[in-house]
Amino acid sequence: MTAQSSPPASPSQSASENATLELAISGMTCAACSTRLEKVLNRLPGVEATVNLATERATLHFEPGALTLDAAKAAVERAGFGASEAATIVREEARAKQKAEWDVELRHFWIAAALSLPLALQMPAMFGLWPGGEVQHDLVPRWLQLLLATPVQFWLGARFYRGAWASLRGGGANMDVLVALGTSMAYFYSLVVTLATRHDLHVYFEASAMIITLILLGKLLEARAKARTTAALDALLRLQPKMARIERDGVLVEVPVEALSPGTMFILRPGDAVPVDGVVEEGNSALNEAMLTGESLPVDKQPGDKVFAATVNGDALLRCRATGVGASTLLAGIIRLVEQAQGSKAPVQRLADRIAAVFVPVVVAIASLTFAAWWLWSGDFQLALINAVAVLVIACPCALGLATPTAIMVGTGQGARAGMLVKNAEALELAERLTVLAVDKTGTVTEGKPAVTDVVPTGGWTRSTLLAAAAALEQSSAHPIAAAVVEAAQAEGLTLERTNDVRAVAGKGVEGRVGDQQVMLGAPAFLVAQGVSVSEADSAPLAAAGKTLVAVAVDGTYVGVIAVADRVRSDSAAAVERLQRNGVKVVMLTGDHPATAQAIAEQTGIAEWRAGVLPADKAAAVNELRAAGERVGMAGDGINDAPALAAAEVSFAIGVGADVAVEAADITLVRNSLHGVADAIDLSRATLSKIRQNLFFAFIYNVLGIPLAAMGMLNPVVAGAAMAMSSVSVVSNSLLLKRWKPGR
């Protein structure tokens, strides 16, 4: 850091507005670290700060001129962490940093494992489990134990000393304090005994080395999870087209999207992705907005209608005028919503860290009192030291460190076998508390693609003849509705005749000759406009059910109607009933028409639904439910669901969904069923139950053992055995999660 003061972090802000500074933080290891740093930053005059452990970011809001970048970084560094301005870190640098962290964690773990393995191999002999049944403590020579344990303790374990010092300097106590304290006492006691050649006393090098190795394994898993924190935003950014087409002197030329400004005219050819938000000036077409709205049916566009970046044009040329470019597009807004939701502070409480803050000073005090009392009472320094060490060894944090990660590891493994990919442990911690599940309709409750649901012939026509005539005319079109009609005809084994003189009317319908007959089909209003009388009795009930209608006329006479809709998944109703039976209310959010939403809700037993909901509104709906005191989860499969997925406390992505939904979600359901959400909640409850049991096992030995050790009734050997048993109890209890099976 230079001596020169930096300018205010956000000088562009007006005097009446708060400035904002975002810092990338390094060195945080647990929730206690982020909490302590947040307190330090909030002590700065005029600063309101939040620190997010998952994203390793600190967001500071302050009055203009009240804070400089150097002052903020200095405060972070005084708390024992590193800081840099987040705005200066490009995404490629962030990915490179995450990769480097992963490589370091992996290398340190394998080195620690290699050094600890010989020490771990002698542990069965310490309990008389070696062949012959004799208890042996020096199966590995003490000088070799010292050589193996020293680099683990002071090189690979150096991070715990740094973290413990920073925590204590900041007035708190985290897991690093427990690790540093427990391993140091075991190591230094063993070192003294070894250097003093006291073969009548035992050493505990294997305890200190194995604790550090196991915790390094947890750090390795943590680094792996952090490497995916930016994947959702990367997937969204990849949707933005790089080039746009404009007309110059009557010739279409490609220009970078950045060259467009509001008011610029751009051209969309059939199949083109829309480069920026705009308004149609000329032409009629149907745009596939599924990548943005999640709805499978294309949306008809005509002059005056809006088009959005990243959606795909259909089969007709459009001339559009740019209205939103760069950060002003709807897609950019969605990206900001996801980033904001992911950067917000989750209300997660880490029980182990909270207990550690009280547990560590209490144990140190008890050990100190034990040493002083025994030395004054007996006058025997060695006896006093042994009893004090016994207190510290019985308080070794090995079981406490294993309590949560072992249950999480087994739980997530079982989830993977059941088709649930859990992105982080926080999701399992929160899923059990959900009271409301918000679900997207298309691709989540329904199958996600249009299909023929009804064929209503009239005037002597049959289902087969009506479907065959319509499919013959539609087979030359790539429109999703046309594909659904053709697929239905093929599924019934119908033969499709050849067509001639086929003419498509963009966004309305199609006509042509099928055999020796002139066939016309499309929306009922299109046929009426062509002078065809369409039966209201046939179409009205289907339209009321929210289905898309394809009316068919042959030689100018109406012959029937075909209804197309996105079908409800076969098990959605049962999954909704299961969720509600388990105390989780289901709320459906969809951008579709209210009639369609109501029909789907009635079929699935969903009592509450909201239709016509835009992407930003879905996130707002989730936040509204949370503001009402509900614990809200979100299940979806489309890009339009990404902001709501990020805003929810726990998010679920249906496996067939867009990549961004999968990356933004906490839990990905490989199978396309809402039963996966119910399974995930069940697994969360089972896992959290094991974590609570593990914490009980981890501390019951302390509650019973510390008083006995303080009274001189436990020597360090028995204390070490008790802590080893606590670890075995924790791991064995976690393995019982393998009995969990998904329900139906």
Q: Is 93 exposed, middle or buried (0-12, 13-18, 19+ CB in 10 A)?
A: exposed
Joined tokens for residue 202: 């035992």
Cα–Cα distance measured from residue 334 to residue 356, given in angstroms and rounded to the nearest whole number: 40
Triad 446, 451, 455: Cα angle to 5°: 130
Contact call for residues 226 and 52 (beta carbons, < 8 A):
no
Nearest to 205 by CA among 87, 282, 116: 116
Pick left, alpha or beta for residue 532 (phi over 0 → left; psi -120 to 50 → alpha; otherwise beta). beta
Name the strand (E) or helix (H) holding 104: helix 91-121
Residue type present at position 646: A
Strand partners, 51: 58
Quote the DSSP letter at residue 263. Answer: T
Which is catalytic among the residues 440, 538, 641, 679? 440
CB hemisphere CA count around 403 (13 angstroms): 24
Alpha carbon separation from 177 to 108, 251, 590 (Å, rounded): 20, 70, 49
Nearest to 48 by CA among 19, 28, 11: 19
Nearest to 235 by CA among 335, 320, 95, 378: 335
Name the strand (E) or helix (H) holding 187: helix 175-195
Residue 330 CA, distance from chain mean position: 22
Joined tokens for residue 368: 């100190």
DSSP annotation string for 112-155? HHHHHHHHHHTHHHHTT-STT----S-SS-HHHHHHHHHHIIII
Cα–Cα distance measured from residue 626 to residue 632, given in angstroms and rounded to the nearest whole number: 6
DSSP strand pairing (557-568 vs 585-589): unpaired
Q: Measured in Å, how far apart are the chain's first and last C-alpha atoms?
A: 60
Check if 516 is active-site: no
Q: Is 467 exposed, middle or buried (0-12, 13-18, 19+ CB in 10 A)?
A: buried
- Three-state secondary structure along 665-727? CCEEECCCCCHHHHHHHHHHHHHHHHHHHHHHHHHHHHHHHHHHHHCCCCCHHHHHHHHHHHH
How many CB atoms neighbour CB 191 within 10 A? 18
Contact call for residues 187 and 212 (beta carbons, < 8 A):
no
Joined tokens for residue 294: 């999640």
- Three-state secondary structure along 206-261? HHHHHHHHHHHHHHHHHHHHHCCCCHHHHHHHHHCCCEEEEEECCEEEEEEHHHCC
Cα–Cα distance measured from residue 688 to residue 428, given in angstroms and rounded to the nearest whole number: 8
Joined tokens for residue 719: 């204390």
Place of tokens 């959400």: 677
Q: Which residues are catalytic?
A: 440
